[in-house]
Structure 1
Amino acid sequence: MEPGGTRRGADHNVMREVNRSLVLAVVKEGGRISRASIARATTLAKPTVSAIVDELIAEGLVREVGTGTTAVSGGRPPILLEFNASSHLVAGVHIGARRTTVAVGDATGAEVRRVRLDTPRGDPTATLKRIADQVRETAEVDGARLSAVGVVLPGLTDFHRGVCLLAPNLGWRDVAVGATLGDALGIPVYVHNAGQAAAVAENVEGVGDNAGELALLYAGTGLSAGVLSGGRVFHGAGGTAGEIGHCRVPGGTEPCNCGNAGCLETVASGPAMVRAVRRAIAAGRPSLLAGRRDLDASHVAAAARDGDTVAAAAIDEVGQYLGLAASWVVNAYNPAMLVLGGGLAAMGDLLLPPLREAFDASVLGPALRGVELRVSTLGDDAETRGAVLLALQHSETYYRVVFR
């Protein structure tokens, strides 16, 4: 082979796949559309468009749906095309500490079926095989082909290897989620953490309104950030970008689930809020929450709304730390929008005032002027919808060629 031949061949294949993706995107977005209209929209040559369309028809991704109107100048009426949403399916799996949700969507991401089950306990490999069985059963929709699965976990994930590095609430460490599910299902499996999935869902279907450059502060039992650039998840070299909850806070001593002490999530999370309440009660401060053993962040929020000063102070403290976290994310990634998501977003009305106060005091001036601060609108559906949408994104040719 002559020098450079491999590179030219690779470049040609990349261009071919990108052109194919452009054509498919126009058909998806254009409703019923002719080959000539596709050529105009993509600026590709008509023979190139025709060859790509023929290929897409053969694969079942596009279908012919009749003829359009003849132009004033006469000639044969154009054959119209449309995207075949039932050509394949994608599945999203949100594995939670207590419940697992499996959602199946068509080739546009629209859900066609969803089931929930108790998260299987015990050996992670056995758990994943049971989940694979549920995915297979849920995806049995009129014989449609399942093309990709997105899996979302409550912990640290290495996207590139498909590995759950650490999920304390599941008791998982270094679990090969992608390989185990992929072998069981025989299709690609893509693994993300909850913050990344929620960010994608909020950007596409929630408060983000397709902002593209968006970061989501995922605050609940833990703390992380899902960061999007150009609408795609920013993974980092090891797949763990956005794990802001495990940045150390100077002077912090509280043990963290990651094995270190003084991590940001030990002072900016639901458990941190509960610990603050318990400390105040132990110090003798009166509270509606005194004596309650099953205390969680939702109880703290309810008490604060009933005028409990201990609960209000705990929320204010966590809100201040979340504002600091938000400033770090905005200073580092400069998003156009920062969304508060995760379990604590349900008390956004209580958290936002202290969060915004600390955020405004800590963020860089130019970044502050360019960012909107909002609260999730998808609530606890964000992770599951994000899993479906991520499976869809990763199954797209353009993503595979350009972003991987």
Structure 2
Amino acid sequence: MESVWLGIDVGGTNVVMALGDGDGNAFVKKRIPTLAADGPARVLKRIIDAVETMLEETGTSFSRLGGIGLGVPGLVDAERGVVRLAVNLNWRQVAVSEVFRSHFGVPVRVDNDVRSAALGEYQFGAGKGFRHFLCLTLGTGIGSGMFLDGRLYAGATGSAGEIGHMVVEREGFPCTCGNRGCLETIASGPSLVRFVRERITEGVPTSLDNGEPLTVERIGSAFDVQDALAQEAIRRAGKYLGFALANAVHLLNVERVIIGGGVSLLGDRLFGFVRSEFQRCVLKGVGDGVDIVPAALGDEAGVMGALALARQAAGLPLDSPATA
């Protein structure tokens, strides 16, 4: 009987999991809240319980499970399957791989969530056919994964890609990492909301000050009706992001930048400012021809990449379908 593969994308707000077939096609998905404040042990137990429910509901036996892949935010030692530090989850030295391997008895591979998303885009999305690209996710935090010369690059200690903690405003807002003015304090979802809320407190007039919950989606809708504060917030985030990407391209010389995550759903409202500032800052000859595009897989890039990680865990190659 053909094996199935389990991909799990752990986010600061939600956990998305999917069962996939031998070609990497997800045939069932499930989403649960992360509830990170409960601590890593309870979060992992909740994920395992949800996986067991999903297997039961689909009539899939444990014996068909060929491998598990997990994308987790933060600094991940992929070789040991340990999350060394995930500031948005408040995890330190969490042996994620061992927890799942001991429970399910199958090969497990854990990597940074954005490297997982980059892998998903490489296999199935906007990175397909490109050997050099940078993939960002803009959500609760900001991270990036990169393919260099056709290989997923993790760095000397698995820490490559922490673009969210690139300091872009030296005396800026405090970040969860302990520094100030990180890109994550300006262009992440919570930071956009915080900026608007602070400006409302300062007395800036806006249609967003109507008592309804403040979200990135609402800020985008207000942008569409020419709300000045919404436009200021998105313009500010886009400009700092474009500036950071110009610096990243100077260093990495990639041919494409892919942007996903919830904030990317602002679409051209955000991308217009990103591309304009990128072109203003990037060195001519280095930035020529660099596309900045939305993630083709949307917010499914992470879980699709986790499915690819599951196949890697079992020793299967990236570029060909798994076999039974």
**Given the two structures, how large is their TM-score scaled by the length of structure 2?**
0.87
The answer as to whether partners of 1:99 and 1:119 remain within 8 angstroms in 2 is yes
Equivalent residues in 2 for 1:150-161, closer than 5 Å = 150-161=69-80
Paired AA for residue 237 in structure 2 = V
In 2, Cα distance between equivalents of 1:290 and 1:368: 40
Secondary structure of 1:314's aligned partner: helix
* TM-superposed deviation, 1:200: 1.8
Whether 1:127 aligns to 2:46 is: no
Select between 275-284 and 207-216 the one with higher mean Cα deviation: 275-284
Question: Pick from 18, 31, 37: which aligns with 1:116?
Answer: 31
Look up the match of 2:220: 301
Shift in Å, 1:168: 4.1
| Contact map agreement 1:102 1:138 (CA 8 A) in 2 | no
From the superposition, tell whether residues 120 and 145 of structure 1 become closer, same or farther in structure 2 (CA, over 3 Å).
farther
CA apart distance, 1:234: 0.9
CA contact (8 A) 1:215 1:226 kept: yes
Residue identity matched to 2:95:
A
Deviation at 1:266, TM superposition (A): 0.9
1:350 deviation in Å? 0.5
Cα pair distance change 1:376/1:290, threshold 3 Å: same
Is structure 2 residue 135 aligned with structure 1 residue 216?
Answer: yes
Q: How does 1:356-371 map to 2 (within 5 A)?
A: 356-371=275-290
Question: Is the helix fraction higher in 1 or 2?
Answer: 1
Quote how far apart the aligned CAs of 1:123 are. Answer: 4.0
Query: Rg bigger for which structure?
Result: 1
Query: Secondary structure at the residue paired with 2:285?
Result: helix
Q: Which residue of 1 aligns with 2:302?
A: 383
Q: Deviations over 1:296-336 (max 9, x none)?
A: 22211111111101110110000001101211222222222
Contact 2:75 2:158 (8 Å CA) reproduced: no
Letter in 1 for 2:284: G
**Cα offset for 1:132?**
3.0
Q: Is the 8 A contact 2:10 2:113 kept in 1?
A: no
Worse overlay, 114-123 or 297-306: 114-123
Q: Deviations over 1:156-199 (max 9, x none)?
A: 33323322233344332321111222222222222223322222
2:15 aligned to which of 86, 97, 100: 100
Is the 1:95–1:154 contact (alpha carbons within 8 Å) kept by the matching residues of 2?
Answer: yes
5+ residue gaps, structure 2, are 319-324
Cα distance change on mapping 1:126 and 1:270 into 2, 3 Å: closer
CA 1:194–1:210: 2 relative to 1, 3 Å:
same
Structure 1: stretches of 5+ with no match in the other structure: 1-85, 400-404
* TM-score normalised by L of structure 1: 0.71
Per-residue CA shift, 1:47-95, capped at 9, x if unaligned? xxxxxxxxxxxxxxxxxxxxxxxxxxxxxxxxxxxxxxx5422210122
Task: Tell me if the contact between 1:182 and 1:188 (Cα under 8 Å) persists in the aligned partners.
Answer: yes
Alignment of 1:269-288 (within 5 A): 269-288=188-207
Q: Structure 2: which amino acid aligns with 1:308?
A: D
Distance in 2, matches of 1:242 and 1:118, equals 25
Moved more, 284-293 or 254-263: 284-293
Contact 2:132 2:254 in 1 (8 A): yes
CA RMSD of aligned residues (A): 2.4
1:193 matched to 2:108: no
The question of whether the paired residues in 1 share the 8 Å contact of 2:169 and 2:182 is answered with: no
Written as runs of structure 1 = structure 2, the 5 A alignment for 1:335-374 is 335-374=254-293
**Residue-pair matches, total:** 314
- In the alignment, the residues of structure 1 paired with residue 61 and residue 75 of structure 2 have an alpha-carbon distance, to the nearest angstrom, of 36
